Chain A
Amino acid sequence: MLFHIDDLPVYFPYDRIYPEQYAYMCSLKQTLDAQGHGVLEMPSGTGKTVSLLSLIISYQQHYPEKRKLIYCSRTVPEIEKALAELKRLVEYRKSCGLNETILGLGLTSRRNLCLHPSVSKEKKGKVVDARCHNLTAPWVREAAQAGQDIETCSFYEELERGDVREIVPDAIYTLDDIKELGKAKKTCPYYMARRLLSHANVIIYSYHYMLDPKIADLISKELSKESIVVFDEAHNIDNVCIDSLSLDIMRPTLEASSKSIAQLSERIEHMKQQGSEKLKNEYEKLVQGLQDTLAARDEESIMANPALPDDLLHEAVPGNIRKAEHFVAFLKRFNEYLKTRLRVLNVTAETPSSFLRHLKEITFIERKPLQFCAERLSLLTRTLELNNLDDLASLQKVAALATLVATYDKGFMLVLEPYESENATVPNPILRFACLDAAIAIKPIFERFSSVIITSGTLSPLDMYPKILDFKATVQESYPMTLTRNCFLPMVITRGSDQVAISSKFEVRNDPAVVRNFGNILIEFGKVVPDGIVAFFPSYLYMESIIAMWHEMGILTEAWKTKLIFVETPDSAETSIALDNYRRACENGRGAILLAVARGKVSEGIDFDHHYGRAVVMFGIPYQYTESRILKARLEFLRDEHRVRENDFLTFDALRHAAQCLGRVLRGKTDYGLMVFADRRYARQDKRSKLPKWINQYITDTSVNLSTDMGIAIAKKFLRSMAQPLETQAQLGVSLWTLDDVLARQKAQKEKLERVGGVHQQLQQQYGSTEAQRLMQDRASGKVYMDVD
């Protein structure tokens, strides 16, 4: 359907549209017009991706600037989904008679795209990268061209021969499409995609290409400032930011890097004996300054600087690490220092500056050369023409630590944990370099791109994200869900049938009465709910202990009578088998229960639509493990820097994961399901207020403080009414709009606007212009002052 928002024609590839999709597009357009950032929360399963794409593509094609769309998603399946949606949209636009050229493509790792007969057989991403590098490094290709007998990649060579733009016509390419094209033209799909990035109108790829400075610098450097950046499924974005700047160093890492250092120095000796000019050339270049070497960087370099581009020093490499042998000695010293640090047997937490001071005291290593460590290492590996870069991974990590610790002072913390768990006796020390501030990694993105949209199904409370990511949002919106029938029923069960309060609070979580009541919920719901039930626990540890207790109590045997039971484990292969069998059990009507963990694989990105999930039960509140030192440090940081209270953040974090888990059950308006919050703490206002608006609006006062038997009675009634066939016709106009509804809505809004304009004028006469404006704003935001007499 085609409709206009303001003056923008929007092509929407379906005949019907949800009201919230329309509202979403309106806010999106506002954000783009204002060239600002936005935080938008939209219920899961209401077609967020398609509305996003259709509005932005319409926007892009309508205005002459043709702002590029960079759409970042989290997992490969989500990227595929978005690409397929984009393809359908562009076909629809074509069928509407629009004559336009849109180049859209997705990018993923070499492992998923490689066509080389032997390299593509490798299973690990790192190995594929390294082997690809062995075949395509400039010196390898030079040597091959000089007639030496060295293997190169024919696909890459083919790409080098021609111009990418000629090989690839403008169209939308899904990941499979680009692979097929590569096969047909015998060119490398990975490099084809990478080289097309700067030409494409739409890019769809993973977060990491944008957020991880090591990769972003190589891939996303040349994207224009005008681009529109969208982070979809962004409820976890702060953790991604933090992970991209955090590092863990363990004993084996240091051993391996020691070995690599020895290798490097051997190689240097070897080169010197051969009288090679290369080391000399490198040295000359460094004397002249780093700029030239920066220019020499090309797309082949695998090791990029872990620091953000804004924080890089653009000056010459310090004199004391200019010579290769000096640098190797320098690395060795630093590595040995880290080894001594790992020998400490008590937990220490310190700031980077205190770490640097101690480092200087002991080893006489200054901050400056340390900062250049990663850059210098990548230069050295290139000069030495090293292959098999995956062997150097540990050393790279050590160099990355050096650079990061010397670059950043605020918002980072070094924590040394000598023992893995609290009651371990054999030390296994880990030095964690932890980033505490999610804003650091994402800051360059907010600064560089004029519009960044953060969107997901669970972003409540909305003001938290601008706070922890430190940006100003021009538009912050959460959309309720319009439904013709209440197709999901959230309920809070606070006590068991025996009136004992249930909670996953630490003090009572292993109390047999609580565990039994949790078990009874499972049994009882197993009896009344058809097909699949998914139950989430706060952690693996807790799940294991509860399952063991259930087994002893005979609860599992009882539950088995009605459903099969599957369990998620930390092992992803095992989990996929469990999921597969769970689906089969649901399909053949046997019905099953899946026991899973919040923050686990199942809770993120696996949908339990229709009969795969008729009920989701969240046992307890999935709080993080609060004794973790890094979490403590982060909480302290948030409190001091962003004025976010510890409890607020913990609750926010727990509830976004709970909402994420429960949101799995509903993937569309024809779907229906139960959402059970099984913990008495959910009944409190401070918890409920942090749930997304669309879930919150359906939590009624009657369903907020239930015991198990009451819950079952309500569930029975709900399921019986939901099982009736649903007429599409009934939804029209309410939760599903045709073009006429959209137009009617626009007309009504226009009238309202005029009316409001009238009021505004009236006020203006009464109070003067600025005062009137303020009053209008207050009215709009629902703030009405009480008159005081």
Chain B
Amino acid sequence: MAAISCSAEQLSSLLGPNSTGAADYLCSVVSSISSKLHDTSYAVDSTYLLFSAYLVFSMQLGFAMLCAGSVRAKNTMNIMLTNVLDAATGGIFYYLFGFAFAFGSPSNSFIGRHFFGLRDVPSPLYDYSNFLYQWAFAIAAAGITSGSIAERTQFVAYLIYSSFLTGFVYPVVSHWIWSNDGWASAFNTGNLLFGSGAIDFAGSGVVHMVGGIAGLWGALIEGPRIGRFDHTGRSVALRGHSASLVVLGTFLLWFGWYGFNPGSFNKILVSYGTSSGYYGQWSAVGRTAVTTTLAGCTAALTTLFGKRIMSGHWNVTDVCNGLLGGFAAITAGCSVVEPWAAIVCGFVSAIVLIGCNKLAEVLKYDDPLEAAQLHGGCGAWGLIFTGLFAKEEFVREVYAADAGRPHGLLMGGGGKLLAAQLVEIVVIAGWVSATMGPLFYLLHRMKLLRISAEDEMAGMDLTRHGGFAYVYHDEDESQAKVNNGGIPLRGFSNSVPTRGD
């Protein structure tokens, strides 16, 4: 924001002789007004960013409920604990070094190197609100991966990969795309990739692809859940235990996405020049919320009818996943496309998700939350979509860019932006595969990754988390074993829970 300034000398010369006193007085008043406006601006932007951060945080809850509902009842405690711990361990590791790797400026184009343990924060660049907002994003990425490896992963492996992903793998990617120094960043005005930089506004690639590709490797190396593909190789549905939780989670994620996408502007009080008084960054923020909504809705409807045609009935859990895929896709370009384009985005993302799911079945790939297909597949489509539909006017406003900046291919912007998007897709897939792939493989070789077949059949809640999540009949209590501390340790029950409960 340009500073309001007042020069007492100039003012005095305009006012006439003996006016130094008057000029000084007027300038001091102007100066205090400027200060007040300055402060107001900080307060407004902080309020906006903080509430957006709280919304993104509520997506943790949404994802926890989505996960819980999508797995079998015997594994509910396990998956929810992983979600709680994503937030907790992410908090510590992102504070200690994740934020520094991501945003530590000034630095090189690969990784950041300031602000470890929030040293020197607040600074003119970053306040605590920026840290909190980015923390909420970081923990979202780790949450995504947990979906792919649900129902069969040892808890220790979980803790290790989650810390590594939130503390290192993810921050490095966000440095490339979102930091002022990043080699692929659209904010790196001195040194733009292909003269464009990649546009991934709220993270279809940085968040969703990273989480999805990490999940892909975990699930591939672990293999499918027992019973997921029968002896002839046909797929068997392992239904989640609660559609209500799936819907609850989906709506909470939708709610939180209003912090995830529009909040990525970081500031709301920014004007785009003096030509029209009512239009400024606040309008772009609103437009972003609209594009987000439209993409999700279109994807959901497309999925509804698509699955009706394919399977003969109206499937709520598929529609929920389709909806989320639409959000994951629009996340890259939400701020730089017109609302009508968001409809196109959602439509295609639904088809991408259905296609990826079919492919997964053919390849006998088992992902309990379809996380790799949804976040990886729809995320990649979202980046391509942005390279096709980004509007020049919006790109210039959002990235404070000069005229002539590359934009969407189908909007007359040439191929440079699309090329940068493709580079981002390849590089993210490569980096995540090169870091998380070996980690999962190492854990697998050390027999730390997958649980035993007996544990998997009995359910992880029973064998590793102290008991089932649901206790509807109190008579069961009297069968529980008790040790000296009064802590319940259940023995194995005689009947092994059947598939589908």
The answer to whether A and B come from one shared complex is: no
